[in-house]
Amino acid sequence: MWSREVGWFVAIGVASTAGQALLYWGLRPWSPPAVANLVSLLVLTVLNTEANRRLTFRHAATTPARAHLAAGGLFLLGYLVTSGAVLWFTHRRPDASPAAETAVLATTSVAVTVVRFLVLRLAVFRTARQVPKRPREASPRRRESR
The predicted pLDDT at position 70 comes to 81
Residue 49: CA count within 13 A, CB half-sphere: 25
What's the pLDDT tens digit per position in 55-113?
A: 988 867 677 787 778 878 888 998 899 889 999 999 999 999 988 988 998 899 888 88
The predicted pLDDT at position 143 comes to 55
CA distances from residue 38 to 34, 54, 119, 131 in whole angstroms, order as listed = 6, 24, 21, 43
Q: Which residue has the higher pLDDT, 14 or 124?
A: 14
What is the residue-wise DSSP string for the chain? -HHHHHHHHHHHHHHHHHHHHHHHHHHGGGS-HHHHHHHHHHHHHHHHHHHIIIIISTTS---HHHHHHHHHHHHHHHHHHHHHHHHHHHHH-TT--HHHHHHHHHHHHHHHHHHHHHHIIIIISPPPPPPPPPPPPPPP-PPPP-
The predicted pLDDT at position 130 comes to 40
Determine the average pLDDT of the residues in 127-137: 54
The predicted pLDDT at position 81 comes to 94
pLDDT band at 131 (very low <50, low <70, confident <90, very high): very low
The predicted pLDDT at position 56 comes to 87
Q: What type of residue is 128?
A: A
The predicted pLDDT at position 17 comes to 85
The predicted pLDDT at position 113 comes to 82
For the chain, the residue count is 146
What's the pLDDT tens digit per position in 2-54?
A: 788 889 999 998 899 899 889 999 999 999 988 998 999 899 988 988 898 88
